[in-house]
A = this chain, B = another copy of it.
């Protein structure tokens, strides 16, 4: 059996073959060998997360060379024999690597159907396609004019001259000139001999007015930029987009300054209700935005005056706080937000540090808990134009799901709780340095293989790590389908502390925190509740529209979470419905993607009104079948294994093998 899980043969890639497994995988030059093994589905004991502390990840380099991997934990003799510590070794050539198998029993692992790490295929935004379809029509365009100078015979008012020549030269009609532009026109006209560039903001609907929003001396048509921004509850991302080429010139993210006033949307709403609270939250998010704008302007090395528009997407609370619309009624039944649509508003009027000609376009909202970030994702990912029945999931601080296609769309917000972001988990943490993000277990010895972000000693577990961990523990029979540890296993890693069963991922001396890092049953319970909320949300939406999982043709994952999560493992725990992995794609920050798309094609802005109208929001708490679906989903992967035929098959095969 030789299973290549990544395409080999690429010139920049090295081929790494693991023995005795006889699994080959292609790796990039410099890749960490422990990660390559994990990627290949090859277990190597490793508690310390990859900092060379535990000394357990000994491998033998039989062919080829690695960089590093030599530590004091290896004797001279070991080194001569080719032993290296995998966690400190970087691939530098094609390799043949042998994992020392200490016992015959251990070798049984080789015959087990492993699930190699598989993250979602990243769906790249296809700009060329957009151009080909004639959809590259930015909401702002520039037009260069060489106007005749006025004479006593031809003393048209300046603005009339501008408008009439835009008509004559570019067939531009229905032009409206905004007052700040009128104020500039007379002087700008006379700066470079009546040679000027006009910036035109296109209407959402054909036949409506095109606004002339700026006027500049000379020809500046080669410089026209837009900002796309995603206001997340936790993080805010901005992109600088070149409206001539369609390229992203710079990107930067920062924590949302509102975090100091509450971690989640509810606590933000509570704060906004205090006297001065709304203003405060507004001010700090604007400060965050301005900081990001400053950064991306510097990165892109552009003149900020050449920025013509900004598109903003955020969830309903973030949007209302940004626009200073009190979100008071959103956290009380019947959960009513202020508005779906917001008109374009001058960026400066919000305090955003951009030219006074810049309008901020804000994505519309569906309901209090399905906001502009989700709408942006739906627009950016193109679901609303697709024939395929798609499930769109954005799992972050909150989880929102959308099901539908070009004909209909249904959506819901799931109260998943913060488990995916490390909340409610004893050693849970955000996906930052020191978080265990990947995990494997030796099915015989139950020794762990931890991989941490940054290859440092572990501090805790991030969301994607937790999913992988629970799935792996479940598949290895370490926990049962209720998430309870098998009390009969012979390993000191499973223990009872204060009446709570837990598995020790890393011993105190292998960690950064001088405490044993563990995963305990309450952590697993939390994860099961979180995944249960999301899965049952999907089931409820499908049921409400008379469909089942089998009808799904595509799953699109969005949110930072989606980029790291192991798909197979997510299906194993019953977070994602079981579907062919190739049908799952990841679009990254869907909100930011939608904001960017809206900068590149004005069509989005007319389409989005229709989409918003079309999207049916389900309040799950008010949907009768939801609670039933939820309770059924509080198992690994689900009370009804028939919806997870492959998981069932694998699970049963493994069970049979363990009983050999």
Chain A positions near chain B (C-beta within 8 angstroms): 150-160, 176-179, 182-183, 185-187, 190, 208, 323-326, 328-329, 333-343, 345, 365, 367-368, 619, 622
A340 and B152 in contact, given A182-B325, A326-B187 (Cβ under 8 angstroms)? no
Please indicate the chain B residues that have their CB under 8 angstroms from the CB of A178 in the complex.
343
Q: Which residues on B sit within 8 Å (CB–CB) of A329? A: 158, 186, 190
Partner of A179 from B155, B159, B323 at Cβ < 8 Å? B323
- Measured CB to CB, the nearest residue on chain B to A211 is B343
Once bound together, how far apart are the Cα atoms of A353 and B187, in whole Å? 30
**Complex Cα–Cα for A156 and B335 (A):** 9
Residues of B within 8 A of A154 (CB): 334
Q: Given A155-B335, A179-B343, A183-B338, list of 20 further CB < 8 A pairs?
A: A150-B334, A152-B619, A152-B622, A155-B368, A156-B336, A157-B336, A157-B337, A157-B340, A157-B365, A157-B367, A158-B338, A158-B339, A159-B340, A159-B341, A160-B339, A177-B339, A182-B342, A183-B325, A187-B326, A190-B329
Interface of A is mostly: loop
21 contacts between A and B (CB under 8 A): A152-B333, A152-B334, A152-B335, A155-B336, A155-B367, A155-B368, A155-B619, A157-B336, A157-B339, A157-B340, A158-B329, A158-B336, A158-B338, A159-B340, A160-B339, A177-B341, A179-B323, A183-B338, A185-B338, A187-B326, A208-B208
In Å, the complex CA distance between A158 and B190 comes to: 49
How many copies are assembled?
Answer: 2
Per the bound structure, the CA–CA distance linking A153 and B177 in Å amounts to 44
- Per the bound structure, the CA–CA distance linking A590 and B619 in Å amounts to 60
What is the CA–CA distance of A326 and B157 in the complex, to the nearest angstrom?
13
A158 to B323, CA, bound (A): 16
Chain B residues with CB below 8 A from A619, complex form:
152, 155
Q: Which residues of B contact A159 (CB under 8 A)?
A: 338-341
Residues A336 and B182 in contact, CB atoms below 8 Å apart: no
CB-CB under 8 A from A342, the residues of chain B are: 179, 182
Q: Which residues of B contact A333 (CB under 8 A)?
A: 152
Q: Is the CB of B183 within 8 A of A323?
A: yes
What is the distance, in angstroms, from A281's C-beta to the closest C-beta of chain B? 14
Determine the distance from Cα of A579 to Cα of B339 in the docked complex, in whole angstroms. 62
Q: What residues of B have a CB within 8 angstroms of the CB of A152 in the complex? A: 333-335, 619, 622
Which residues of the other chain, B, contact A365 by a CB distance below 8 angstroms? Answer: 157
- How far, in Å, is A650 (CB) from chain B's closest CB? 42
Task: Compute how far the CA of A335 lies from the CA of B333 in the bound complex, rounded to whole angstroms.
Answer: 63
Chain B: minimal CB distance from A556 (Å): 25
A64 to nearest B CB, angstroms?
62
CA of A619 to CA of B340, assembled, Å: 52
Task: Please name all residues of chain B whose beta carbon is closer than 8 Å to the beta carbon of A182 when the two chains form the complex.
Answer: 323, 325, 338-339, 342
A323: nearest chain-B partner, CB-CB: B179
Cα(A153)–Cα(B160), bound, Å: 53
Q: How far is the CA of A185 from the CA of B324 in the complex (A)?
A: 12
| 5 residue pairs, one from A and one from B, having the closest CB atoms | A159-B339, A155-B334, A152-B334, A157-B337, A152-B622
Chain B residues with CB under 8 A of A157: 336-340, 365, 367
Q: Closest B-chain residue to A335, C-beta based?
A: B155
Q: How far does the Cβ of A566 sit from chain B's closest Cβ, in whole Å?
A: 37
Residues of B within 8 Å of A176, CB to CB, are: 343
Asked if B622 and A153 sit within 8 Å, CB to CB, the answer is yes
CA–CA, A159 and B365, complex, Å: 12
Q: How far is the CA of A182 from the CA of B337 in the complex (A)?
A: 10
Closest to A325 in B: B183
Taken together as a complex, chains A and B put the C-alpha atoms of A187 and B153 apart, in Å, by 58
Chain B residues in 8 Å Cβ range of A368:
155
Q: How far is the CA of A329 from the CA of B368 in the complex (A)?
A: 53
Please indicate which of the listed interface residues A156, A329, A338, A368 has the most CB atoms of chain B within 10 Å of its own CB: A338
Report the separation of the CA atoms of residues A413 and B335 in the bound assembly, to the nearest whole angstrom: 62
* Smallest Cβ-Cβ distance to A350: which chain B residue: B179
A183 CB, nearest partner CB in chain B, Å? 5
Complex CA gap A152/B337 in Å reads: 13
Find the B residue at minimum CB distance from A149: B334
Interface hub of A158, A185, A333 (most chain B Cβ within 10 A):
A158
| Of the residues B150, B179, B337, B367, contact of A345 by C-beta under 8 Å | B179
Which residues in B have their C-beta under 8 angstroms from that of A367? 155, 157
Residues of B within 8 A of A160 (CB): 339-340
Q: Are A338 and B622 in contact (CB under 8 A)?
A: no
Per the bound structure, the CA–CA distance linking A181 and B338 in Å amounts to 10
